[in-house]
């Protein structure tokens, strides 16, 4: 099981310099990947920009969007931006994409929320084509591989048809394991070679000194869910035992990698997670 860590790029008030320092420390401590996620109508840093900055200060660690909401832009713009980051990093970018679930982000981007599924399908088809039939006159190389996020039947179909695999949302292992099994089965049924890449997401915080900050962020970020936001706080791993149990459960479900998303914008979180999970 590979262990990755996400930037605190959506945590309000996290400074820009922290994002670069985070990437350097994550590489030093041996994480497999450092990932950025996206919200538009919410404080924080834009993910591909953060990853471009990370590419400049690292040389080995994988870079990923986990995830980026593709229908907020066009396939052509997204392809150019992603291929640029991939080129800057020497081909270390993995492009995790989803159709989006928050209508306020679409309002801010002046994009239609209703037809986002159909838009996403056409975008994935175009991005896959650009990767398979790369034209250096249009895009720098290499064009990054794709992962698709979501729990729907459409997410399974998209992962198998256009992507290198599937990335799970940040839910309990027992809630994402069935979809992982469906992706593997559909992959085999479609005659795809090898195995799909399966990545899981888990929030975390470590240390009583960040507990108030972290729980407050989780409660605010998922505030749109009302009382359910408290459940996300309660189920966020926060002890070495809970973090280790999360990794074991996801490994047992067949995931290749788990990316831990911080809920406190403190560089200490990188070291504390590494101390538990990375030899």
State the Cα–Cα distance between residues 77 and 228, nearest whole angstrom: 36
Angle of the 75-88 helix axis to the 47-57 helix axis, nearest 10: 20
**Total number of domains in the chain:** 1
55-97 pLDDT, tens digit each: 999 999 999 999 999 999 999 999 999 999 999 999 999 999 9
- Assign 234 to helix, strand or coil: helix
Reported pTM: 0.96
Say whether pLDDT at 225 is over 80: no
230-269 pLDDT, tens digit each: 888 999 999 999 999 999 999 999 999 999 999 999 999 9
Q: Contact at 8 Å (CB) between 66 and 6?
A: yes
Phi, psi of 149 (to 5 degrees): -105, 165
Instruction: Give the DSSP H/E element, type plus range, for residue 166.
Output: strand 165-167
177-211 pLDDT, tens digit each: 999 999 999 999 999 999 999 999 999 999 999 99
Instruction: Give the CATH number of the domain where residue 177 resides.
Output: 3.20.20.30
State the Cα–Cα distance between residues 198 and 185, nearest whole angstrom: 13
Structural domain that includes position 223: 2-277
pLDDT at 230: 87
């Amino acid at each position: 099981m590979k262990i990755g860590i996400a930037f605190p790029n959506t945590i309000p008030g996290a400074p820009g310099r922290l994002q670069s320092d985070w990437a350097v420390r994550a590489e030093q401590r041996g994480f497999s990947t450092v990932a950025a996620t996206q919200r538009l109508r919410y404080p924080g840093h834009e993910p591909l920009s953060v990853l471009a900055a990370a590419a400049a200060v690292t040389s080995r660690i994988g870079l990923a969007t986990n995830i980026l909401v593709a229908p907020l832009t066009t396939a052509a713009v997204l392809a150019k931006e992603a291929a640029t980051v991939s080129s800057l990093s020497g081909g270390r970018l993995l492009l995790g994409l989803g159709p989006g679930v928050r209508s306020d982000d679409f309002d801010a981007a002046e994009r239609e929320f209703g037809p986002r599924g159909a838009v996403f399908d056409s975008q994935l088809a175009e991005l896959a084509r650009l990767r398979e039939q790369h034209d250096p006159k249009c895009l720098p190389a290499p064009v990054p591989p794709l992962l698709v996020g979501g729990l729907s039947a459409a997410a399974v179909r998209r992962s198998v048809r256009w992507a290198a695999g599937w990335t799970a949302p940040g839910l309990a292992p027992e809630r994402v394991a069935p979809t992982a099994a469906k992706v593997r089965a559909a992959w085999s049924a479609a005659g795809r070679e090898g195995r799909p890449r399966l990545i899981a997401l888990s929030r975390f915080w470590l240390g009583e000194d960040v507990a108030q900050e972290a729980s407050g962020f989780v409660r605010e970020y998922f505030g749109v869910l009302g009382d359910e936001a408290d459940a996300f706080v309660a189920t966020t791993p926060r002890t070495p035992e809970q973090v280790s149990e999360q990794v074991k459960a996801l490994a047992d479900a067949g995931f290749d990698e788990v990316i831990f998303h911080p809920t406190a914008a403190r560089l200490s979180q990188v070291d504390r997670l590494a101390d538990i999970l990375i030899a």
